[in-house]
C-alpha cells in the first residue's frame, strides 16, 4: 500500500498493476510524478553534488552561532593579506577565557574589522573603532554574569595581526581575545548563505 489505511486519501486506491508495481489511480486529484527525463536529472544532480562533496572534503564551514549574518561558507587557502570585510577561519591558540561550549579545537569564523596598518581605538566604555569606523562594544559579562576578558589597544595594528569581529553585538571575537595572528588563520571563507 502507498498509504496506511488511516491516512489514505479517500479518492485514491492502491492497485497492483500487471508488472507487480504499486500505483495510485488518480480520481480528480493529480499527484506530482516525475517523467523518466526528470528522474535522470535528479539522479545526475545527486551524483554531481556527491562528487563535489567527495572532491572538496572539509571545504565548507557551517556557523551555528548568531555571531555572523551568514551561516554557510566555502573555504579556500588563506591569502598573504586580508582586507577589511574578508572572512577568516582560525583556531585561537592563546584564549585564556573560553565559553563552556567552546574548546581549543573549535574553529572560529569572523570578519576582518581592522587590518595591519589601520588605527584601532577603544574608549573607556569599551567601544572599538577602526580608522574612526565603529566596530562594536565589548560587554563586561556574559549572559550568565561571568566577567569577560578585556582587550585594550589603542594604536596602529601591527603587521601579521588582524582584529576580527562578528556582526552580532554579543559575538565572542577580538574585542575579548585580542588580535588574530596570521599563523593562526587556517582559511579565507566566502559566504554562500
Residue 115 located in a structural domain: yes
pLDDT, tens digit (0-9, with 9 covering 90-100), for 24-73: 444 333 335 678 888 888 888 888 877 766 666 567 777 888 888 888 89
Q: Is 166 helix (H, G, I), strand (E, B) or coil?
A: coil
CB-based contact 162:115 (threshold 8 Å): yes
- Asked if residue 75 and residue 105 are part of one domain, the reply reads yes
- Asked if residue 91 and residue 163 are part of one domain, the reply reads yes
Predicted local confidence at residue 105, as pLDDT: 62
pLDDT, tens digit (0-9, with 9 covering 90-100), for 98-126: 555 555 567 889 999 999 999 999 999 99
Q: Which domain holds residue 99?
A: 60-191
pLDDT, tens digit (0-9, with 9 covering 90-100), for 139-159: 999 888 888 888 999 999 999
Alpha helices in the chain (DSSP H): 36-55, 174-177
Residue 3 located in a structural domain: no
Residue 5 located in a structural domain: no
pLDDT, tens digit (0-9, with 9 covering 90-100), for 60-75: 777 888 888 888 898 8
Amino acid at each position: 500500500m502507498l498509504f496506511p489505511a488511516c491516512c489514505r486519501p479517500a479518492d485514491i486506491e492502491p492497485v497492483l498493476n500487471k508488472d507487480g508495481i504499486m500505483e495510485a489511480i488518480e480520481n480528480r486529484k493529480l499527484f506530482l510524478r516525475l517523467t523518466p527525463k526528470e528522474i535522470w536529472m535528479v539522479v545526475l544532480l545527486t551524483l554531481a553534488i556527491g562528487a563535489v562533496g567527495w572532491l572538496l572534503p572539509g571545504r565548507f564551514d557551517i556557523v551555528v552561532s548568531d555571531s555572523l549574518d551568514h551561516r554557510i561558507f566555502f573555504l579556500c587557502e588563506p591569502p598573504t593579506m586580508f582586507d577589511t570585510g574578508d572572512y577568516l577561519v582560525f583556531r585561537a591558540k592563546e584564549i585564556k577565557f573560553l565559553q563552556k561550549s567552546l574548546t581549543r579545537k573549535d574553529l572560529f569564523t569572523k570578519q576582518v574589522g581592522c587590518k595591519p596598518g589601520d588605527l584601532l581605538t577603544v574608549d573607556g566604555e569599551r567601544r572599538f573603532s577602526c580608522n574612526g569606523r565603529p566596530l562594536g562594544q565589548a560587554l563586561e559579562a556574559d549572559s550568565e554574569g561571568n566577567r569577560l576578558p578585556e582587550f585594550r589597544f589603542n594604536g596602529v595594528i601591527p603587521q601579521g595581526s588582524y582584529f576580527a569581529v562578528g556582526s552580532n553585538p554579543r559575538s565572542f571575537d577580538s574585542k575579548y581575545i585580542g588580535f588574530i595572528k596570521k599563523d593562526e588563520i587556517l582559511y579565507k571563507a566566502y559566504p554562500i548563505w
